[in-house]
Structures are given as C-alpha cells and as structure tokens.
Structure 1
Amino acid sequence: MDNSSSHNLHVVMLSSPEAGHVVPVVALANRLAEQHHVRSTVLLVTTGAPSESKLMNPPRERGLVETIWLPPVDISNLVDPSTKMMTLMCLMMREAVPVVRSAIAAMDRLPDALIVVYFGTDSLQIASEFNMPKFILCTSTAWFLAMSVYFPILDEQMKGPFIDESGHLKIPGCKPVRHEDAVDMMMDRDDQQYHEYLRIGRGLSLSDGILVNTCEDLEAKTLQAFTENDAMNSVCKSPVYPIGPLTRPVESTGFQSDLMDWLDKQPNHSVLFVSFGSGGVLSAEQTLELACGLELSQQRFVWVIRPPKKGHVNDALFPDNIEGTEDDYLPEGFLNRTKNIGILVPTWGQQVEILAHPATGGFMSHCGWNSTLESIVSGVPIIAWPLYAEQRMNATFLVEELGVAVRPEVLPTKKVVGREEIEKMVRTLMEHKDGQGMRDRMMQLKTRATNGLNEGGSSHASMRKILSIIEAKKNATN
C-alpha cells in the first residue's frame, strides 16, 4: 500500500460527538484507507466530556487517517435543562460551522470532498465555498433515512400532534411506520427538535449523495424505493449509496482481561450480553426487575450496568455523570447469588469483543444501529429493548423483517417490563428452538453483510461509485 498521501484522494469527514456518529465515521475512515488508499481527516466536534475518548479507536492506517478534535462550542445561551438531545446536537453542529471552516482552510492540502453526519448538514455550505463534492452520512437504517426524507411531506399531510394519530405513517415504497415506533423528534410540533428534524429532512437532498450505513442484503426493498419509486424520487433528489456495515473492529487490547478469561471458560452461545449503549439508563424499578428476571432465567450473563443518573435530560451526552453503587439499586444478595453465572461491568463494556466471543449467544440491546450492526456481524440474536430516537423502528425491523430478535409485549418506555416476561424472553433466546432459529438467521445475515464489503460486493461497489464522483470532480477542477 502506498502511504504517500500526496497521491491519494483526501476526504474530510465531520462528526458530531454522539457515539452513534463517531463510531461509523471512524470506521469509514479506516475502510477508505485500507481498501481504497484514500486519505481521511476526521473533524470531531467535542463537548469536553472525558468519555468521548472511549469512542475513538486509534486509526489502523496512521499514514492515511488523521483525527482533529475541534474545540467545544458554547451553546449555553441557546439551551436550557429541558432542551432535547437532538436539538443540542443540531445547535452544537451549527455553531461549529466557523470552526470547521477554519480547520479545513488551514489544511496543507484542501480536501477533495466533504462528508458530514446527519446533524452536520449546515456545514455543507463549506463544501460549496471550496468547490468540492459534498455528501451526507446517514448512520442509521435506510428505513429511517426514508422517513426523514419524507417527513416534510408527512408534516404537510398530518394535522395535530403525530402521537395522537392512529394507524401508520405511510412512506412510499417502504414498510409503514407505526405511530408508536415513530422517532421522538416527530412527537411534539411545539418542541424545537421537531423543527430541527424537519429542517434536516428538507436539507438531505442538498448533497451530491447520501451514504447510508446499511447494505443490500439487509434492506433491499427500502433501498429499491430510492431508485424506483416515483413518489420517493420526487422528494429525495440525492442518490443513496448503501456502504455498510460500518462497525468497530475487534481489538485484542487486554482490557478487561478478567472478563475475557471468564468468557473463555463458558460453553459456546451460553452467555447473554446485556448493554443499553452509552446513553441507555433504566429506571431504578426497571433495573430491579431486570436483575430479578436474569436471576430467574438461570442463564449466564454479562451485564454492562449503568446506575440511575442525576435526572438531567441531557445526561445521555455525558455518561460520566453517574451516582450510586450496585448495592443501592440491585436486589439484596443478587451479587452473591449470581456470582457463578454472571458478571457486572460498571458503566462501559468492551462490546465488540464480547459480541464476537464464541461464548456469547444473545444480546439484550437498546437497538441503537451501531449495536445492532455489531450484533449482526457477530451473528448474535437480540432481545430488543428500545429506549429512544429511532430504536423503536430498529426493534420492529429486527423482529418483523429480519426475524432475529424477540421483544417485550409493551414498549419498555411505556411500561416497566416485569421479571417474569424478562425470564421468558431470555429463556426463549438462549434455550428454545425459536432462539436457535434466530441465531441461524443471524449467522446467515452475518455472512451476506460482511461479504458485501469485499471486492465485488454491493457495499464495496457503492463506495467505488462515490470515489469515482470525487475523482472526476478533482480532475475537472485541475
């Protein structure tokens, strides 16, 4: 490989500090380097939270991948304690536009293209100023992208709050979205995040293309809607390129080696991994029921446990803001009774390594798309436990479309899931033939999804098309 970057295309990628964006952006930068010899500079807008460093994997191609940590922007005069996370992210990325512009202008060589994450569309103007192609990276599903692009039409069609409507939200060429599965941003027309989501939906077609972290083998029907459905084409003017799955690599770092040693001693597919992501915190009552359900199931488990936080609505941005010890929120004697079958990991877990371990047979997950893809590429079926954002859509997709997950009868955000139901779901996934069927289907998905990344695969071919566009623009300019 030629690591002399002067002869390579140079792509700048802009990420928000949200974990769901940082992880696929870094994964894309590494893939561009390893498979296409493209130089990438990752511009990361930061909040200053210590936990942000945990999201960044060191680049594997150091000569071709650089990360620039942009200084935090001050949005204190624009928010209050009730401001929702999406609004926070949009404001933060909007206020960072001058900093992004300065960082690009100061580069020793101007980039050949700009790729921004979903919340960073305000920075597309910078690409126009520097006369380079501009792309948006959608880090979720094609289904979520379709709903986002079509949301301005839904906004015109619907009267009153979305949450009060019955039936389904119809999206051309795609599976309809149940109102209870719709993203949080659609629920309140009077909240700023509703208007931020509407603004993003209108701006998605301002790019030269939309990269989406999925693949043909996962969402063939939805992806087809972007190319063949006239109603969808009328609102989505930008071509859509499935380039996924973009996931973190499995690293043998030695971190949490005691946990790995314990997993090494367990039978294959015998351990349930429980984790709800960087911002996933359960109530004290739900944590208690989950602990009791795990104990009743008598299954081995690894639980990345996050204590109840201080209650600030924006805590999902700052996962270091925790309080309490296990004795404060777990059943009395739980640790002693489960010491031979379960391990608690405080706050942060080595997720991709745990999922990839042969002992792991199931994943109780919030269904964030990063975690979902990491489960797919490890061939591990899921107990779907959606909490916020588009996770309810993801859970429905996993259960109803792919058949690789089981979920509670009522959404966990609407009702505390009882210990008996938790026990039943765990046993179904880990012991019953239905769980084995999910595991078999997940292994098939793993093979097809990862094959798409190789030379000749669908995602690899999509990436080549994007690079051809960038190369053509560069040659025309020169």
Structure 2
Amino acid sequence: MNPFSSLTTVVNIKLDRSNIVILVAHENNKIVLINWLSQKLKPPHVALVPSPGLGHLNPLVELANQLIVHHNFTVTFVIPNDGSCTKPHRKVLQALDPLSVSATFLPPINFDDLPEGSQIETRIALTMARSLSALRDLVKVLAESTRLVAIVFYVFGSDAFDMAKEFHVAPYLFWSTTAMMLSFAFHLPRLDETTTCEYRDMPEPVQFPGCVPLHGRDFLEPVQDRSNEAYAAVLRTSKKLLLVAGVLVNSSLDLEPNVFKALKKGRAQGFPLVYPIRPIINLSPTDGGINGQHECLSWLDKQLRGSDLFVAFGSGGTLSLKQIQELALGLEMSRQRFLWVVKRPNETAKNGTYFAPNRFLDPLGFLPNKFLERTKDVGLVVPSWVPQVQVLSHASLGGFITHCGWNSVLENVVNGVPLIAWPLYAEQRSNVVLLADDIKIAWRVKMNEKGIMESQGIAKYARGLIEGDEGKLPRKKVKELQEASKIALSPEGLSTKSLAEVAQIWKRNN
C-alpha cells in the first residue's frame, strides 16, 4: 500500500540538504509515515550467515569490516550451530566494533540420526537446513527493527534463499573459493544429467567456460561418490544458485580473468550477477588465544631472508602417521630451514580437526625418533597453531607447503610466497589445478601407489622451491600476483570498486 495515497496536509522536512515533502491526512497515516521515515533514516543493515567452521566465519568478518568502515553499514552475524565449541567464533566476533556489529548463535543442531563417517559437507548442509526455522524468526526481528537490505549466505545456505524473499530482502551468496568452482557449480546440474559414470572415471577432462581443463578426479571431494548424501547436498545447492540476486566471489580478475569474463556472459543463461570483490582475508595480527608474540615469529626473526619453508595444512587438515613420518624425514633430508605446524595423526579422515581442533598437543609421541633433536638448529615444530598471516608476511619465508584451502592461498598470494600444493579434501584438488596449471605459482605433489608422499620427493620439492633454479618461475609468478593484488585492493582498484558497486545496490534497497 502506498502511504501517500489519501493525504491532504503538507509538511516539509529537511534531510541531508534535500526537501522531502510528506503529506499527512490524519493521525493513523501520520504514524505510518513517521515509522517509514524512521526506517529510512537508519543505516543500511546486512545479515551475514556463515556455514559451520571457523574458516567460513573469518572471511565474512573481514567483509563486515569493509562494509562498516568504507560503506557505513551495520551488520548482524547469524551463526548456525552444529554443536561444536563456539568459543573461537565468539573470540573473533568480540574483536569487532560493538556499535556496528551484533551476533546471534542459533540453537545447536542434533545429529543423532547422522550415519557415522558422513562427510563434513553433509553435516554442514544439515546444520543449515535444520536451522531454517530459527533463522526465519531472527530475520523477522531484523526486518522489523533494522533497515535490512540484504542477507549474505555462505555456501550451503541455499535452503534459506526463498525465506529471505518472504521478508522482501535480497539473498546474496558469499562464494568463498575460486570463480572456477563457481562455474563448476553452475554447470553441475547439466553435468549430472549427461554423465552416467562416476566423475573420477571420466576419460577426458571437462573444460567449463573460461576455465583450465579439469579432470573428473580433480572435482571437489563430495561429488566423487554420486550415491553419497554429500553429493545430493552439493547438487541441491547448485540448482538453487540461480535464485540469488548476486554472488560475491572471494577472488579477483587478476587471478581468474577468463573465468569472470565467462561468468559475465553466463547472464544470458540466467546466471546471477557475479562480483569479484577482492581477496577477502584478515591481515590484522591475531594471537589465537596466546598472549604476546608467538615463539615462531621470534624464531623466524633469526633466519635469513627467503630461507624458510612453512608447512601447514589449515585448521582442519590431518595426515596419517605414516605420512607424518615421511614428511618429517623429507624435511630433514632437504636440509632446508622449516617451520612446521603439526597435528595428531588421523588414519581415517584428512579433515580430522575441522570440527574439533587439536590445540597445543605434544608432537613427540608420533614424530620419528630423535627427529626434533636432529633438526633443532634448522627447524621449528609447533603443535597445532601459529599466526599464519604474520608467518606468511615474514621476510624469511621462501615457500609454503599447503593443503590449498582458498583462505590460505589468498593469504599467500598477497604476501608473494610460492607454493608446494598438497590437497587433502573439499575443493582443494581443483584449486591446485588453477594454481599449478593455470597461474603457475605452485608445484603439485605426486603420491605413490599407496597415496603417500615419500620423503625423497618432499626433500626434492623443498630444495627446488627454496634454492633451485626450477623454483624461479613460481617465485616470479607469485610476485607478479602480489603486485596485482595490491592494485586490486587499492582505493581505485577493481576489487574495491566491485564491492562498492554491491554496497550501492544494497543502499538503494528498501
């Protein structure tokens, strides 16, 4: 209903150098109009809904900072709760401006009916779906009490797209990984219809528009078994992507120019608008619960420039006992300086600490005998956690053995460190194809027939990347991308302008 439809009295209100003419006929209409004006005077408000996992929250925290500082938004974080410890999430959120940011943790979800050994994607999807009622109640409150202009969902939030529209709020998707994987997601429903075998058995690679050819065996982990419930969850999400008003991609035109061009052309096929909004990473120092400077930074301060190899597999990545021992022997054999973040071995899962991090666990029990003693002058082994952003920005860093989680890749690119790519789960194999075959800032490790990376190979990769002539190309390429990222993130950079475009669209909403 138009609140101005039956008004006869004119009232002039001066607001932001503009004269807004409000016509008031009687008291009821006056109340309606005062409420309407009050809503318009509020700052634009965005709800951010991450998927479970601290790695999913962190980039949205930085997005919130950008919206608050540069575009005058207020933000509410709505945290679905899979039952894991929320203390790390609360610590991250408490560091934000309390005048501009609020946070609500939804009730924890029960997984008693979930089969043992289910993939993490299944658990994430169920958490999001079973949180829908509580999310709807909260969005209703936000729609009534704030100038809610958009809801930004993380991957697997697709069940809530329709719910957002119930409240006349635009649903947006924060795409936390590559534009190449977004293209894959858009085309997965068609691939599902036209392919009869398992994707890993496809004889030829698939070339999605604008992308480097991708073998089926390198597709993301949850689609490798099409009979698994994780595949059904990914497929369902892919089919709903066309419902969003836009997709904010945590990548840049410098990293994936051809993919973004192809996605723009995809508008003719009904694809939503796609915005490369920068590498969204937190570059601020963090103590991760440790007061004072972490010991690893003091150790790095004593090393020569570009001499150290950093070895870490993210917050969730885990290796088997055999693989940890081979990695230890390979680092020792390489005679390169190293900083290694070690976690307890896991024989069944490569993401064994995704939902239950192992902090400050003594590594002595499972490392090779006397390994720490033999390498004490060249290496530092740290149980479970280091301030990764500060490590990657340190002048002594010369290379990074990584699982290729996209947050780690972006942190690495802005600091210009070449990679040894060791994918473990999720979309990491696909990320490696981009990094090694397309932009060429990484070497891909090769496993033996038992799926083990042997010590001799590890030593060869480490020596080559840090001091060998063969490491010159990835070192050169990543430095070029580092400079390009500085430009993209500058006030006049393309990524900065892309986020500003989204902010202006949101400000025109409601």
Q: What TM-score do you get using the length of structure 1 for normalisation?
A: 0.92
1:295 to 329, 332, 335: 332
Q: Secondary structure at the match of 2:104?
A: strand
Give me the whole-angstrom Cα distance separating, in 2, the residues matched to 1:324 and 1:464: 43
Could you tell me which residue of structure 1 aligns to residue 159 of structure 2? 122
Matched, 1:430 2:466: yes
Please give the residue correspondences for 1:212-251 in structure 2 after superposition, counting only pairs within 5 Å: 212-228=249-265, 232-233=266-267, 235-251=269-285
Q: Structure 1 pair 286/137, CA: closer, same or farther in 2 (3 Å)? A: same
Question: Post-superposition shift, 1:398?
Answer: 0.9
8 A Cα contact 1:40 1:64, kept in partner = yes
Could you tell me which residue of structure 2 aligns to residue 11 of structure 1? 46
Bigger radius of gyration among the two: 2
- Could you list the per-position Cα deviations for residues 437-469 of structure 1 after superposition, in whole angstroms to 9, with x for gaps in the alignment? 322321221121132122221111111221222
Could you tell me which residue of structure 2 aligns to residue 92 of structure 1? 127
Bigger mean CA offset, 209-218 vs 53-62 = 53-62
CA RMSD of aligned residues (A): 2.3
Could you tell me which residue of structure 2 aligns to residue 456 of structure 1? 492
State the percentage of identical aligned residues: 33
8 A Cα contact 2:51 2:79, kept in partner = yes
8 A Cα contact 2:401 2:421, kept in partner = yes
Give me the whole-angstrom Cα distance separating, in 2, the residues matched to 1:21 and 1:433: 37
Bigger mean CA offset, 335-344 vs 453-462 = 453-462
Could you tell me which residue of structure 2 aligns to residue 370 of structure 1? 407
Question: Post-superposition shift, 1:181?
Answer: 0.8
Give me the whole-angstrom Cα distance separating, in 1, the residues matched to 2:203 and 2:158: 32
Give me the whole-angstrom Cα distance separating, in 1, the residues matched to 2:396 and 2:167: 51
Q: Secondary structure at the match of 2:445?
A: coil
Give me the whole-angstrom Cα distance separating, in 2, the residues matched to 1:351 and 1:39: 29
Could you tell me which residue of structure 1 aligns to residue 246 of structure 2? 209
8 A Cα contact 1:27 1:246, kept in partner = yes
Q: Structure 1 pair 348/235, CA: closer, same or farther in 2 (3 Å)? A: farther
Q: Structure 1 pair 331/80, CA: closer, same or farther in 2 (3 Å)? A: same
Question: Post-superposition shift, 1:413?
Answer: 9.8
Question: Post-superposition shift, 1:122?
Answer: 1.2
Give me the whole-angstrom Cα distance separating, in 1, the residues matched to 2:206 and 2:442: 23
Matched, 1:66 2:102: yes
Q: Structure 1 pair 250/361, CA: closer, same or farther in 2 (3 Å)? A: farther
Question: Post-superposition shift, 1:97?
Answer: 1.0
Give me the whole-angstrom Cα distance separating, in 2, the residues matched to 1:413 and 1:42: 45
Give me the whole-angstrom Cα distance separating, in 2, the residues matched to 1:58 and 1:304: 26
Give me the whole-angstrom Cα distance separating, in 2, the residues matched to 1:57 and 1:416: 39
Question: Post-superposition shift, 1:434?
Answer: 2.9
Give me the whole-angstrom Cα distance separating, in 2, the residues matched to 1:401 and 1:310: 32
Give me the whole-angstrom Cα distance separating, in 2, the residues matched to 1:6 and 1:309: 54
8 A Cα contact 1:315 1:321, kept in partner = no
8 A Cα contact 1:387 1:413, kept in partner = no
**Structure 2 stretches of 5 or more lacking a match?**
1-39
Give me the whole-angstrom Cα distance separating, in 1, the residues matched to 2:387 and 2:359: 19
8 A Cα contact 2:343 2:363, kept in partner = no
Give me the whole-angstrom Cα distance separating, in 2, the residues matched to 1:447 and 1:184: 32
8 A Cα contact 1:204 1:236, kept in partner = no
Please give the residue correspondences for 1:132-143 in structure 2 after superposition, counting only pairs within 5 Å: 132-143=169-180
Could you tell me which residue of structure 2 aligns to residue 445 of structure 1? 481
Matched, 1:106 2:158: no
Q: Secondary structure at the match of 1:358?
A: coil
> What amino acid is aligned across from residue 69 of structure 2 in structure 1?
E
- Could you list the per-position Cα deviations for residues 221-251 of structure 1 after superposition, in whole angstroms to 9, with x for gaps in the alignment? 00000123xxx44555211111020112231
Bigger mean CA offset, 98-107 vs 28-37 = 98-107
8 A Cα contact 2:155 2:174, kept in partner = yes
Q: Secondary structure at the match of 1:101?
A: helix
Please give the residue correspondences for 1:45-56 in structure 2 after superposition, counting only pairs within 5 Å: 45-50=80-85, 53=88, 56=92
Please give the residue correspondences for 1:78-477 in structure 2 after superposition, counting only pairs within 5 Å: 79-107=114-142, 108-228=145-265, 232-233=266-267, 235-251=269-285, 253=287, 255-309=292-346, 311=348, 315-320=352-357, 325-410=362-447, 415-474=451-510
> What amino acid is aligned across from residue 305 of structure 2 in structure 1?
N
Q: Structure 1 pair 277/70, CA: closer, same or farther in 2 (3 Å)? A: same
> What amino acid is aligned across from residue 372 of structure 2 in structure 1?
L
8 A Cα contact 2:320 2:347, kept in partner = no
Question: Post-superposition shift, 1:7?
Answer: 4.1
8 A Cα contact 1:11 1:38, kept in partner = yes
Question: Post-superposition shift, 1:207?
Answer: 0.5
Question: Post-superposition shift, 1:403?
Answer: 1.4
Q: Secondary structure at the match of 1:354?
A: helix
Question: Post-superposition shift, 1:323?
Answer: 11
Q: Secondary structure at the match of 1:40?
A: strand
Bigger mean CA offset, 374-383 vs 95-104 = 95-104
Give me the whole-angstrom Cα distance separating, in 1, the residues matched to 2:347 and 2:435: 32
Question: Post-superposition shift, 1:75?
Answer: 3.0
- Could you list the per-position Cα deviations for residues 174-220 of structure 1 after superposition, in whole angstroms to 9, with x for gaps in the alignment? 22211221111221121111111111111111000011100111100
Could you tell me which residue of structure 1 aligns to residue 62 of structure 2? 27
Bigger mean CA offset, 52-61 vs 105-114 = 52-61
8 A Cα contact 2:80 2:128, kept in partner = yes
Give me the whole-angstrom Cα distance separating, in 1, the residues matched to 2:160 and 2:132: 6
Count of paired positions: 465
1:40 to 54, 75, 81: 75
